Amino acid sequence: MKARVLVDASDIDRFAPHTHPLWWGILGAVAIEAAVVATLLTSYFYLAAQNPAWPPEGVAPPDLFWPTVVLVLLPLSSFTMWWAGKGSDRGDQRQLSIGVTASVTLAVLALVARSFQIAEFDASWNDHAYGSILWVITGFHYTHVVSAVSGTAVVAVLAWRGYFTPERQLGVVVDTVYWYFVAGVFLPIYLVLYIAPRLL
Amino acid sequence: MRSEGKAKRGFGSPQERVRLRLLRLLSSAPFAFLLSGCQGIQSALDPASRDARLVAELSWWMFTSAVFIYIVTIGLLAVGAGLFRGRKRLSFRSSTTLVILGGVCAPIIAIIAIGVSGVAIGDETEGAREAGTALTIEVVGKQWWWELRYLDEAGEVIAVTANELHLPVGERARLELLSDNVIHSFWAPNLQGKTDAIPGRRNVLFAEPAVEGVWRGQCAEFCGKQHTLMGFMVVAEPRDEFNAWLERQASDALAPPAPGLDVFLDLGCGGCHTIRGTPADGQKGPDLTHLASRRTIAAATLPNSRGNLGGWITDTHEVKPGALMPSFIPEPQDLHDLLDYLEALH
Amino acid sequence: MTAVGIETSGHDPALEPSSYGHEAAVGREAFERIERTWRSPAGFVGWFTQVNHSAIGLRFIVTAFVFFILSGLLGLAMRLQLAMPLNEMLSPEAYNQIMTVHGTAMMFLFAIPAMEGVAIYVAPLMVGARDMAFPRLNAFGYYVYLIGGSAFFLSLALGMAPDAGWFNYVPLANKTFSEGYGVDIWTTMITFIELSALTAAVELIVTIMKLRAPGMSLDRMPIFVWAVLVMSFMILFAMPSVMVASAFLMMDRLVDTQFFIVENGGSPLLWQHLFWFFGHPEVYIILVPALGIVTSIVVTFSGRPLFGYTALVLAITGIGMVSFGLWVHHMYTTGLPFMGRSFFMAASSMIAIPSGVQVYCWIATLWGGKVRFATPMLWVLAFFGVFIAGGLTGVMVASVPFDRQVHDSYFVVAHFHYVLMGGAVFPLMGAIYYWFPKATGRMLSERLGIGSCLTVFVGFNITFFPMHILGLQGMPRRVYTYVDGLGWGNMNLLATFGAFLLALGFALTLFNVVRSLRHGAVAPDNPWGGSTLEWATASPPLNCNFIQQPVVESRRPMWDWREAGSRTVVAGLSEDRRETMVTTLLDARPQSVMVLPGPTPWPFVSAVAASFGFIGLIFSPWFFPIGFFAVFATMVFWFWPRHPWRKK
């Protein structure tokens, strides 16, 4: 059977990072994680509704200081991440390297703050369902920050080694999307775990 | 009391009247001949209460409609697929009509029918019908048997028994379903649909036998190794017989102390079972104060006979593998004494 | 034929050329070079490095059917035990384990992976892509499934299988009431296997959205591809719920969290809500791709374009969305307020509308064409016969008062076997008969196929129809035996007899497959005269799927090509790199070219590291951090740029 050529792909871009399927793939991963967070937060409210007192009698709602520090640090790290991405788009490898490294540093600080705050929890995970859901949501987010930091640390190493030529920005773009999610998802968690018990 | 409430409702609000008419239509019993053909002491097709009858008739209505829809759809499919000669090609317009009629209109009618009948019958069967039901019974799901606690009007326990629920005919008893272990589900299909007994919750189910009789039910929520043989009996009797039964169940053991009681205590049975009026006051197993008055043993698994009782005690796990009661093998004479005593616990 | 331009039927497959001349299209040399670029490494070690979607898809399907056979044998064991009252063939311990594994494996190890497998195999071909978007992730998903599923089944052989039912209701599944490792194996392995479902879902979504052949706008996508897309989105939003639930349960058992412990503020109903929020869509996750399969077969064997394309797309999407709003109909007996249940009663019966639309669209499609009753079509007819019955009983159980009688009784067992076997297994069998020639280059025996289909259909109905009656006669589910004198004996005996007939029917197909692999007639490229792009490649498919990626101008490119006498294609893709077109989301205009990665062992290593962590979690929480960092380390190797990337 004869073939009629309707599309010639010879000159089409091979390295477009912003329309790359991997970008969509990360969006899919983010959708899954978002569904997990939504399920966790719904479970939090369900358990709250099943209990006469929430937090239970004699348990104080978690302190606000450290989580608020995290709430500032994570968006800040997203900003440096965005700045790094801008640099990468322009082909400025130095800006990329500095930005990514700054993000990792800020996120590590956020982890430290988060650890202080966990140490302050008034409820243990094995006393009451309140403690369990508190610890699990916190642990879930903590794990995600750890994985985002670890992944971005690898990106930082590659960046300093000059890997991200204009054709190879995909890794940066993808890492940035995930980073925004991990930083952004702290807001609903903050509202539910730290503000909601004061309003309920 | 009951008829009074009914009469009142008959002249109730317009919605009530519509609902009643609907129920009457549903219960006009075109399927009565079918129902009579399904005799069973544990069957939803052999209803012994108004609740179960409404649902059984609803079932037959739904089956008939379903069979009709099935035949029409499969028939159209057969014609469409060309299984019969002389099929004409369907025009676009006819195809659209077919899809709209069969795929949209028919389901909508079915949905409305299901919804209206479901709400009407659901409301009817799950409701208390009259305020102040005379009898409240706590039904506690155990692994793997049922504890039944009859309450007085103040909510105090009058009598505790196990696995044999007695109800007065024609009265709407309120069963409160409890569990302190896993989830069970109380199902006596001849009387009513099932409701779960869930730890931390107090669910309510109403049972209102319309005729005298004895039926069986069993746990319908998987609850572990012996979920299978976690049955119970339901006995519906006239009010005066019921009163006599309840009075006896409320009393201490009627059997005089006998050598069998010593065997019972020596074997340690009292650690789990209660026989009121004796030192045996265990709480883990069924209350045995009036064991001999029950029709079955081992949660409606075996008829209550001397042989079965002996077999149950000496080889429990042959009957119910996994049951929490260990087997006991007393000396033959002791076993006879024990069985003599247990059989005297009327 | 009419105003809307539905063309006349009569595509005679005998007129199809046996091959579309793939080698001639580009010349022998280029052909060989492209095929070498896309070749999968051979040999035992090579097997662990393969990433092509056709290889991975086939593995999913074969593995899923192995689990199907094993779980089916467990079903036979249960039927034998229940053939007579108070039978003592199986102890309650054994029965409960078998029942739990049968249910769990059929759902998690067979139905979903089989559907995913067919989707992974067929969908990229149908959209005219050369491979899937993330071939290595695809391979990773497969190993996760293989290892997780084998570990799960192994627990049965070791006698430590989960025994709290596939639904694992707490408190029964709590530490107090289920000692031992059984439930832990369930929670960890199911969460683990879900991981594979999720990777496949993301993979399929991106492939379908971004790698469609130029010209295949959304409204030209085959219905099967639509169905796969809907299924994947459903997986994306349903699976997290069960993963969270089983993670809660895992932690309750492992580190004493109190999610389900009533005394400490936990709630057993939380489990049920989370489980059924997943569990109900799960049924439709299995059903929806099957509807796509049925549509493909109906179109091909009526030789006529689908009637009501838009209606079908809306119906499938509608089913997907509504299915997230019905989970409470599994909880009618838990004592929730009647008002709330009435809402779910309405929502549940609502599913009847999109289902009805589909069935009648198929009927209307058949009504125009000259229907060929080859084996795939027979399985579809069997699907109609069984699935419609299951759908009707499904509408019945949506009724609250009726459901309170039949819930957790054998009526429900009958109902969901009608829906799941009718709705998923029959179409899957149809899919095997339909795409076997494409996948293997051999035709299956029609005669054996007809025998198998008839035997399965009859056996199925003898097995499961009596269960409706048993349920109404008061027989609850999940019982290992029943006492005498309740009138259940005969129906149970009949069902057991039917089960063996059913097994015989499946055995015939198994025999057919094994025999035809060697002795089947050689299959041409398009043996059934299908209209979609999977038929444009060779049988079995070329390594690169399409030596020249196709360009699509309607919903039925194969029929267009035949009429025009020529194909429409893409040129200019590299011969030495794995390249495939990336197109825009809605109208599939060429956007860029994606360079796909080639064979690698790292997905396998990564999956082994992940399974080490998950299997360890059965025993100790410390395996969580260990597994986490082990997987991270392997991922770094996986993604580490290995080519001399400073060059070029």
Given a contact cutoff of 8 angstroms between Cβ atoms, the answer to whether C323 and C278 are in contact is no
> How much is the pLDDT for C14?
60
Number of neighbours of residue C47 by Cβ within 10 angstroms: 14
Determine the Cα–Cα distance for residues C329 and C322; give it in Å rounded to an integer: 13
Tokens of C104: 């769990």
Spatial CA neighbour of C640 closest among A168, B299, B108, A140? A168
Cβ contact C367–B125 (<8 Å): no
Q: Which domains does chain C have, with CATH numbers?
A: 13-639 (1.20.210.10)
Residues of chain B numbered 216-255 and touching chain C (CB < 8 Å): 216-229, 231
Spatial CA neighbour of C414 closest among C471, C355, C453? C471
Angle at C610 between CA C608 and CA C616, to 5 degrees: 100
CB < 8 Å to A4, chain C: 566-569
Tokens of B76: 């159209």
> How much is the pLDDT for B28?
43
Chain B residue whose CA is closest to C469: B45
Residue C514's φ and ψ, nearest 5 degrees, are -60, -40
Cβ contact A1–C565 (<8 Å): yes
> How much is the pLDDT for C648?
36
> How much is the pLDDT for B40?
85
- CATH superfamily assigned to domain A61-199: Cytochrome c oxidase, subunit III, four-helix bundle (1.20.120.80)
Percentage of residues in chain A with pLDDT exceeding 90? 62
Q: Which of C92, C311, C409 faces B321 most closely, judged by CB atoms?
A: C92
Q: Give per-residue pLDDT as tens, B74-125.
A: 999 998 888 776 667 788 898 999 999 999 999 999 999 999 999 999 988 9
Determine the Cα–Cα distance for residues A17 and A169; give it in Å rounded to an integer: 6
pLDDT beyond 70 at B14: no
Residues of chain C numbered 312-341 and touching chain B (CB < 8 Å): 333-335, 338, 341
Mean pLDDT computed over every residue of chain A: 91
Cβ contact B118–C384 (<8 Å): no
Please compute Rg for chain A using Cα positions: 21
| Helix or strand run (H / E) with residue B160 | strand B157-162
Cβ contact C364–B122 (<8 Å): no
Determine the Cα–Cα distance for residues B133 and B207; give it in Å rounded to an integer: 11
A28 to chain C, any CB pair closer than 8 A? The answer is yes
Domain B135-250 carries which CATH code? 2.60.40.420
Residue type, C528: W
C368 to chain B, any CB pair closer than 8 A? The answer is yes
Report field, pTM of the whole predicted structure over 0.90: yes
Q: What is the ipTM of this complex?
A: 0.94
Please say whether the dihedral angle defined by the alpha carbons of residues C139, C145, C151 and C157, taken in this order, is positive or negative: negative
> How much is the pLDDT for C4?
36
| Helix or strand run (H / E) with residue B176 | strand B173-179
Q: Give per-residue pLDDT as tens, B291-311.
A: 999 999 999 999 999 999 999
Chain B residue whose CA is closest to C260: B199
Cβ contact C582–A21 (<8 Å): yes
Assign 3-state DSSP to chain B and report helix, strand, coil percentages, each to 5: 40, 20, 40
Determine the Cα–Cα distance for residues C19 and C31; give it in Å rounded to an integer: 15
Cβ contact C4–B59 (<8 Å): no
Chain C residue whose CA is closest to B200: C262
Q: Which of A28, A39, A171 faces C274 most closely, judged by CB atoms?
A: A39
C7 Cα to chain B: minimum distance (Å): 12
Chain B residue whose CA is closest to C412: B220
Mean pLDDT computed over every residue of chain C: 92
pLDDT beyond 60 at B25: no
Please report, for chain A, the start and end positions of each structural domain, with discontinuous segments joined by +: 61-199
pLDDT beyond 70 at B7: no
Spatial CA neighbour of C480 closest among B215, B315, B140, B320? B320
Cβ contact C21–A19 (<8 Å): no
Given a contact cutoff of 8 angstroms between Cβ atoms, the answer to whether A82 and A177 are in contact is no
pLDDT band at residue A169 using 50, 70 and 90 as cut-offs: confident
Q: Give per-residue pLDDT as tens, A102-137.
A: 999 999 999 999 999 899 888 899 999 999 999 999
> How much is the pLDDT for A3?
87
Cβ contact B102–C479 (<8 Å): no
Is cis: bond before A55, omega within 30 of 0? yes
Contacts of residue A36, Cβ cutoff 8 Å, sequence gap at least 6: A140, C240, C243, C244
Q: Give per-residue pLDDT as tens, B182-195.
A: 999 999 999 999 99
Q: Which residues does chain C have with pLDDT short of 70?
A: 1-15, 642-648
CB < 8 Å to B122, chain C: 338, 341-342, 399-401
Residues of chain C numbered 440-499 and touching chain B (CB < 8 Å): 472-474, 476-483, 486-487
> How much is the pLDDT for C367?
87
pLDDT band at residue B133 using 50, 70 and 90 as cut-offs: low
Given a contact cutoff of 8 angstroms between Cβ atoms, the answer to whether B204 and B187 are in contact is no
CB < 8 Å to C402, chain B: 55, 58-59, 62, 118
Cβ contact C398–B118 (<8 Å): yes
Q: Give per-residue pLDDT as tens, B57-78.
A: 999 999 999 999 999 999 999 9
pLDDT band at residue B21 using 50, 70 and 90 as cut-offs: low
Fold agreement (B135-250, B259-343): yes
Q: Which of B34, B58, B119, B174 is the best substitution to test chain C (most C C-beta atoms within 10 A)?
A: B119
| Helix or strand run (H / E) with residue C86 | none
Cβ contact C474–B98 (<8 Å): no
Spatial CA neighbour of C408 closest among A84, B183, A95? B183
Q: How far is residue C576 from each of residues A59, C21, C24, measured CA to CA in Å?
A: 65, 21, 19
For domain B259-343, the CATH architecture is Sandwich (2.60)
Determine the Cα–Cα distance for residues C221 and C209; give it in Å rounded to an integer: 10
Cβ contact A8–C593 (<8 Å): no
Q: Give per-residue pLDDT as tens, B152-172.
A: 988 899 999 999 999 999 999
Spatial CA neighbour of B163 closest among B258, B90, B231? B231
Please report, for chain B, the start and end positions of each structural domain, with discontinuous segments joined by +: 7-126, 135-250, 259-343
Given a contact cutoff of 8 angstroms between Cβ atoms, the answer to whether B102 and C363 are in contact is yes
**Chains contacting A (3 or more CB pairs within 8 Å):** C
Spatial CA neighbour of C77 closest among C161, C151, C147, C148? C161
Task: Quote the longest CA-to-CA distance of chain C.
Answer: 83
Given a contact cutoff of 8 angstroms between Cβ atoms, the answer to whether B287 and B308 are in contact is no
What is the pLDDT averaged over residues A178-182?
Answer: 93
Q: What is the 3-state secondary structure (H, E, C) of A39-76?
A: HHHHHHHHHHHHCCCCCCCCCCCCCCHHHHHHHHHHHH
DSSP string for residues in C171-237: TTTSTTTS-SSHHHHHHHHHHHHHHHHHHHHHHHHHHHHH-PPTT--GGGS-HHHHHHHHHHHHHHH
pLDDT beyond 70 at B16: no
Determine the Cα–Cα distance for residues C139 and B195; give it in Å rounded to an integer: 46
Determine the Cα–Cα distance for residues C463 and C459; give it in Å rounded to an integer: 6
Cβ contact A132–C579 (<8 Å): no
Bridge partners, B49 (sequence order): B209
> How much is the pLDDT for C640?
76
Residue B186's φ and ψ, nearest 5 degrees, are -90, 120
HSE-CB of A125 using CA atoms within 13 angstroms: 18
Cβ contact C388–B70 (<8 Å): yes
Determine the Cα–Cα distance for residues C326 and B85; give it in Å rounded to an integer: 43
